Amino acid sequence: MSRLHRATSVPAILLIVVVLASCGRPAAEPAAEDVPASAEPAEPAFTYTGANGPDAWGDLSPEYTACADGSAQSPIDLVDADDADLADIVFDYRAGDVELVDTGHTIQVNQPAGSSIQVEGDRYDLLQFHFHEPSEHTIDGEQFAGELHLVHRDEAGGLAVVAVLLREGASSAVLAPVFDALPAELDATAQVEGFDPSRVLPEQRTTYRYDGSLTTPPCTEGVSWFVLDTPIEVSAAQLAAFSGIIEANNRPLQARGDRDIAHDTSRG
Ligand SMILES: [Zn+2]
């Protein structure tokens, strides 16, 4: 059965969970349990194909209008970037026990408190990461096999997403416990103990940086994007484990408009 059919047949309360837990959304949003049963109707489920696909996201809810009307949306093709000697992102990631959730749109890996990044003087806490397959961002037109989004939030609620591109190659040892435990039913969860997100990062940590949005509804803008320019490798079997559960979940490229892209060359 396709995800579309599953998503349209689940009870309304589950749709709330899907919306709140969807890609790019912070993990600490109110849980569905906090929403009274008599609350407003659930937001419609978005999909990646069909009638509720990306072209229709902006019409699915008044909350989603940025998906259609926004001027700084993600993802984009990373090309014609301005080379700049930028301060490194300081990663302070700690190993901990993580929870995998099948949101219907991706597999999200919720992180315990304690991991953060510092960039340009701001500290952002790591909330969760999740997968897209194939990649959402492209580099000079090149699409990759997948993309991992590490979602962070600062004290003021500002979001910063660090994207790690995935290339098909050797099996990823650090991600193996995650790919081996992917929950295959909507809202199903799984636990992985002692996962170290720092080991997901490539050795070379130069980035493309630009201002964009969440890549799923509500497509909120004001998101600081840091796309690492060096992919990591995952195996064909690992990619297949994900695509066997979640159908292609990449939002199409969005208009860049007049936005600048900076390419950090400090170690390039
Ligand atoms: Zn994402």
In the reported structure, the alpha carbon of residue 108 is separated from the centroid of ligand 1 by a whole-number distance in angstroms of 9
Cα–Cα distance measured from residue 41 to residue 231, given in angstroms and rounded to the nearest whole number: 41
Q: Which amino acid is at 144?
A: F
**pLDDT in the model for residue 154:** 97
Å from CA of 26 to ligand 1 middle: 11
Do the beta carbons of residue 224 and residue 160 sit within 8 Å? yes
In CATH, what class is 3-264? alpha beta
CA 131 to centroid of ligand 1, rounded, Å: 6
Q: Residue 38 in contact with residue 217, Cβ under 8 Å?
A: no
Q: What separation in Å is there between the alpha carbon of 268 and the centre of ligand 1?
A: 26
Which positions ≥6 away from 123 have C-beta within 8 Å? 116, 117, 154, 155
Distance 87 CA to ligand 1 centre (A): 24
pTM: 0.85
Ligand 1 centroid, distance to 23 Cα (angstroms): 5
For ligand 1, the distance from its centroid to the CA atom of residue 74, given in whole angstroms, is 10
> For residue 84, what pLDDT is reported?
92
pLDDT per 10-residue tile (average), the chain, 268 residues: 43 43 46 41 79 96 97 98 93 98 97 96 97 98 98 97 98 98 96 98 96 98 98 98 97 98 80
pLDDT at res. 44? 60
Q: 192: closest CA among 246, 248, 129?
A: 129
Å from CA of 194 to ligand 1 middle: 23
How far is ligand 1, taken at its centre, from the CA of residue 38, in Å?
30
| Residue 244: per-residue pLDDT | 97
Q: Supply φ then ψ for residue 151, to 5 degrees.
A: -100, 125
Ligand 1: distance of its center to the CA of 199 in Å? Answer: 19
Ligand 1 center–CA 40 separation, angstroms? 26
The Cα–Cα gap between 207 and 231 comes to 11
| Residue (of 100, 106, 98, 99) closest to 22 by Cα position | 106
CA 218–ligand 1 middle distance (angstroms): 12
**pLDDT at residue 120 in the model:** 86
**How many angstroms separate the alpha carbon of residue 264 from the centre of ligand 1?**
22
CA–centroid distance, residue 35 to ligand 1 (Å): 24
The owner of tokens 């906090």 is: 34
> How much is the pLDDT for 30?
39
184's torsion region: left (phi>0), alpha (psi -120 to 50) or beta? alpha
Provide φ and ψ at 3, rounded to 5°: -65, -35
CB neighbours of 88 closer than 8 A, spacing ≥ 6?
205, 264, 266, 267
CB atoms within 10 A of CB 249: 26
